[in-house]
Amino acid sequence: MQKQLKIAGVQVLITAVSFIAAVVLTYTASSIVQTLFTLSALLSAGANISADLWLRTIGQDLYGHTFSGFIPLAGLVCIGFLLALPTAAVIAKYTGWPRYGLYPLAGAAAMATLHYGASHMIYDLNLMVGTRGVLGLSCFVLSGALGGAVFIHCLLRLSRSVKTNVVSP
Amino acid sequence: MKKIILWILILFSSVAVADESPGYQMSTLATGLQYPYSLAFLPDGDILATEKTGQLRLIHEGVLIETPVANVPDVDVGYQGGLLDIALHPQFSKNRQLYFSLTQGKGEHSSLRVFRAQYISGVTKSGQLINVSEIFQAPETPPIALGGRLLFLPDETLLVSVGDGFDYREQAQNLESTLGKIIRINDDGTIPKDNPFLNQDGVTSAVYSYGHRVAIGLFQDKTTQTVYAHENGPKGGDELNRIEAGKNYGWPIASYGIAYSGGRVSPFSQYPGTEQPLVQWTPSIAPSGLTQCRGCQWPEWEGDLLVGFLAGRQARRIILQEGVVTDQKILFKELGERIRDLRFGPDGALYMLTDNINGRVIKVTPLTQR
């Protein structure tokens, strides 16, 4: 009984670690995507941006996208994943569809929904500048798919390793 | 050294803000205006006021006439779109011509347009427009960040502020587009022969200055001929600028604001080849309406600019010394209302428009005057 409780506790921890890894990765990737596309648009408008400014702006935006704007991106990614990933788990359980396909799809859907919501906050405007174009939006959505993939990969790998350790003498 | 002193003054100007002791009294001249946007003083003492919802209203002997002015073109009202600014032709007494800006087109296909018409009074209670014709159309955008302020220069050319259309901000640096520009046209919509980018390849000849986000304050000092404009930044970075022909005001390459998402608009607040603002307001207080005291009823305000604010729910007296902003005084904060426009009337009193469904025209006079 105690052993089972221990396994359950470890499983919760593994899920939490996998979830945090997925959110952090998706937030970081989506923030960088926005910065890259925003700065690329400035380049096309005639600005000259040095490499260190690119890096500095990426760093500033990683902070700003969560703490300075109307859209607290990290929090929204977290909420999105809290809805999307359990939904993927339920679908996987009842359909038997491959989890390595479902979870990335769920992550992508979370980011697409986030983009849709943000772009309908005020009229139909893109409050997230980096997602104005198809390519930027695709990369933004892909960052969610990446997060979903990382989540399921971490979850399965860590669970397997824990099971092996628990079963082994 | 001179540059350092100038920068210290600019820095000082952005922080030195104090409440003005109320040397004024306010009275409501008219009420019941739906989101009034702009005013024009007619030579006979009447006032024309635009309502964003599409009506042009007459205030006759201090009374708002119920029936709107007839024959105003259809307006597509939505978000920031609607019937916007109004300006009288400098020869209005002779030709009865007035100009107004408005938006037409739904959703993504909204565009800022400028119309010319003749105002005929007396036919109906409020008068009517005849010979209405469109003289300028900006590219289609969503109805936000539109601009639309009008300013006649002494040579009878017309400046029009055109916003960047929000999603198209890089267009403010593209001289082929009129988005994010102040344009200059003749009173019939043709291009003046002395425009700064006339007949240059890949440039729209109407462009007067560029790199603007959305200027909704435009004014010329009648004494020095200096043109001033202010513009709304995104999240921070509202600016007051001295406008000169052919100059680049930086947006979006240089901005003191950040994007609504919290990311940087640009890594630069200053950029070579772009003009710095006289003053910038961060966080944003959304300037709207701009005027200047020249012979107004407050002699101590002579030469100062007055700016209305929407989000800031106040006005500010911007004190200029040799072209540099040295101080700002907060005015009318006790109103607690969004100020859409303010103008000095021919009598030297200040007239303000409050921005709401039951908007008012407020007349402000010095406290001593009865």
Q: Output the pTM of the full model.
A: 0.91
> Which of residues 238 through 277 in chain B touch A, CB cutoff 8 A?
252-253, 258-268, 271
pLDDT, tens digit, 9 for 90 and up, residues B282-308: 999 999 999 999 999 999 999 999 999
pLDDT tens across A2-22, in order? Answer: 777 887 888 899 999 999 999
Tokens of A147: 């997060």
Q: What is the model's pLDDT at position B15?
A: 45
* Tokens encoding B154: 């002494």
The torsion angles phi and psi of A63, rounded to 5 degrees, stand at -80, -50
CA distance B8 to B15: 11
B contact residues 38-57, partner A, Cβ 8 Å cutoff: none
Nearest to A46 among B143, B253, B259 (CB): B253
Considering CB atoms only, which of B107, B108, B263 is closest to A64?
B263
Q: Which of A42, A53, A71 has the CB atom closest to B261's CB atom?
A: A71
Q: Cβ–Cβ of B79/A123 closer than 8 Å?
A: yes
A28 touches chain B (CB under 8 A): no
| DSSP string over A142-169 | HHHHHHHHHHHHHHHHHHHHHHHHHH--
Average pLDDT, chain B: 93
Q: Which amino acid is at B310?
A: L
The partner residues of B292 in beta bridges, in order of sequence, read B305
Contact present, B191 and B203 (Cβ < 8 Å)? no
Residues of B with Cβ-Cβ distance to A41 under 8 angstroms: 170
- The per-residue pLDDT of chain A, averaged, comes to 91
Given a cut of 80, is residue A97 above it in pLDDT?
yes
DSSP strand E in B232-304: where?
Answer: 238-243, 279-281, 287-292
Q: What number is the average pLDDT over the span A36-62?
A: 97
Section B363-369 average pLDDT: 85
Q: What percentage of chain B has pLDDT greater than the value 90?
A: 86
Query: Within A45-167, where are the H helices?
Result: 51-67, 73-95, 99-118, 134-167
What's the rounded Cα separation, in Å, for the pair B113 and B135? 8
Is the Cβ pair A34, B261 closer than 8 Å?
yes
pLDDT for residue B13 is more than 90: no
One-letter identity of residue B47: I
pLDDT tens profile A135-168: 999 999 999 999 999 999 999 998 888 777 765 5
Alpha-carbon gap, residue A60 to B259, rounded angstroms: 12
Interface membership of A45 toward B (CB under 8 Å)? yes
Confidence grade of residue A42 (pLDDT, cut at 50, 70, 90): very high
Of the candidates B224, B338, B350, B331, which has an alpha carbon nearest to the alpha carbon of residue B293?
B350
- Please check the confidence at residue B17 and state whether its pLDDT lies above 90: no
Q: Name the minimum distance, in Å, from the CA of A90 to any CA of chain B.
A: 33
Binary contact (A130, B263; C-beta < 8 A): yes
CA distance A99 to A96: 8
DSSP string of B86-145, one letter each residue: EEE-TTHHHH-EEEEEEEESSGGGBEEEEEEEEEE-SSSSS-EEEEEEEEEEPPPB-SSS
Residue B23 has pLDDT above 80, yes or no: yes
Q: What is the CA radius of gyration of chain A?
A: 19
Task: Please tell me which residue of chain A has the smallest CA distance to B266.
Answer: A39
- Counting one residue from A and one from B, how many pairs have CB atoms under 8 Å apart? 97
pLDDT digits (tens, 9 = 90+) for A120-139: 777 777 888 889 999 999 99
Is pLDDT of B167 > 80?
A: yes
How far is the alpha carbon of A72 from chain B, nearest alpha carbon, in Å? Answer: 8
H helices of chain B, where? 2-15, 92-95
